[in-house]
Amino acid sequence: MRIILFSSQPYDRDSFSTALLPAGCELAFQHAHLGLDTAALASGCEVVCAFINDDLSAPVLQQLAAGGTRLIALRSAGYNHVDLHAAQQLGLSVVRVPAYSPFAIAEHAVALILALNRRIHRAFNRTREGDFSLHGLIGFDLHGKTVGIIGTGQIGAAFARIMAGFGCQLLAHDPHPDDDLQALGVRYLPLDEVLQQAQIISLHCPLTPGTRHLINQQSLAHMQPGSMLINTSRGALVDTPALIDALKEGQLGYLGLDVYEEEAALFFEDQSDLPLQDDILARLLTFPNVIITAHQAFLTREALCAIADTTLQNITAWAAGQPQNLLSA
């Protein structure tokens, strides 16, 4: 059985090559993103292994099915980029990696908070140039601050426990409150109240029609002036142009992003020799109180091993007629 991995990077090759490969399977690593112009590369491959920025819309799925593909094995937990209705109609099974390392993403969110608060990025650049002044580097104690957590699944819960260790007051918004977090002291409130009361807001919810642009001009206006926003979940949770106005007006005091609504054409590639064509991203990068990382929150050795292991286990289970982590429309 031939398995093609689209959007594969050197770290994918390393993690999948050291994982236990099912008997009779062959891996083909393809650096290109999956789309209408590259779907032909999967011809004859029974399994297509896709990542978060691959195109799994109906036209692409139709081309994959025509080429003999029967299984879409996602190397991610999120699946908002997959047309599940089209997959079902075409007889394509879709499986995902529901969890790999919630700690990796939660810890990256905390890293963004600490770097923004203590101006680590600015201090690093200064000292490398021989500037050892402290002007403009004043931060604040995290202890005692109120942190709002939007979404308390595995990642949000891991983030909550870390922030509790800093001595923060924790508020949360989620349609399904977590009893263990409530025992930890987390208070669940309506979204508007969380935005109004918290100095730090961290997004950990999935992207659905109901959460698209959850953070927009109106919700930003509900936040405390000078508050911090962190997004390590999905780019489209945030109406990105609205962030620019909020930053210019001082309504938003700090912004940490590991995801971006229009990241598909940019992230995971070296664009350093090219002029940046995305005007909104270019504008965000001019603010000294903004840190953007290129969807690297998941990137730990433990997470990569777990992604490879679970993906191959999903393929093995499907081939045996006992699919696991199966998605349905």
- Among this protein's residues, is 33 annotated catalytic? no
**CA-to-CA distance for 317 and 322, rounded, in angstroms?**
5
- Catalytic site includes residue 295: yes
Catalytic residue among 118, 263, 301, 302: 263
Catalytic residue from among 75, 108, 173, 295:
295
Q: Select from 1.20.1270.360, 3.40.50.720, 3.40.50.360, 3.50.50.60 the CATH code of 102-292.
A: 3.40.50.720
Q: What pLDDT is stored for residue 24 in this prediction?
A: 87
State the 10-residue block means of pLDDT for the chain, 329 residues long: 96 93 90 96 97 95 97 93 96 94 96 98 96 96 98 97 98 97 98 98 95 97 97 96 97 98 90 92 97 97 96 95 94
What is the structure's pLDDT at 264?
85
Radius of gyration for the chain, computed over Cα atoms and rounded to the nearest angstrom: 21
From the list 81, 234, 261, 283, the catalytic residue is: 234
pTM: 0.92
The pLDDT value given to residue 20: 85
Q: Verify whether residue 234 is a known catalytic residue.
A: yes
43-47 long-range contacts (CB < 8 A, ≥24 apart) are: 43/67, 43/68, 44/2, 44/68, 45/2, 45/3, 45/4, 45/69, 46/1, 46/2, 46/3, 46/70, 46/71, 47/1, 47/2, 47/3, 47/4, 47/71, 47/72, 47/73, 47/315
Q: What CATH number matches the domain at 2-100+301-319, 3.90.1150.10, 3.40.50.720, 3.40.50.300, 3.40.50.12160?
A: 3.40.50.720
**Residues of each domain in the chain carrying CATH 3.40.50.720:** 2-100+301-319, 102-292
